[in-house]
């Protein structure tokens, strides 16, 4: 074990800003990428359904 407690862990020997700034942003961007993919899929399928309904109505 490297850390005596959570305080030491977050401090990262004085480099906490740099370490957590790195991992924090990476985590945010990864979550954002996945969220964008999920919403893009949802929107796409809704659009497809709507155009199918319109095609059905037109018949």
List residues binding another protein (CB under 8 A): 1-3, 9, 12-15, 17-19, 21-23, 25-26, 29-30, 33-34, 37, 40-41, 44-45, 48-49, 52
Please report the beta strands in the chain, taking only residues with DSSP state E, as ranges in sequence order. Answer: none
| Alpha carbon distance 54, 22 (integer Å) | 48
Cα 59 to the chain's mean position, in Å? 41
The smaller minimum CB distance to another protein, of residues 1 and 58, is found at 1
Least distance to another protein from the beta carbon of 37, Å?
A: 5
Least distance to another protein from the beta carbon of 10, Å?
A: 11
| Alpha carbon distance 37, 29 (integer Å) | 12
């Amino acid at each position: 074990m490297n850390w005596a407690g959570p305080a030491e862990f977050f401090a990262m020997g004085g480099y906490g800003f740099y370490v957590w700034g790195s991992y924090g942003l990476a985590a945010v961007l990864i979550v954002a990428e996945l969220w964008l993919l999920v919403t893009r899929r949802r929107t796409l399928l809704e659009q497809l359904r709507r155009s199918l309904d319109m095609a059905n109505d037109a018949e």
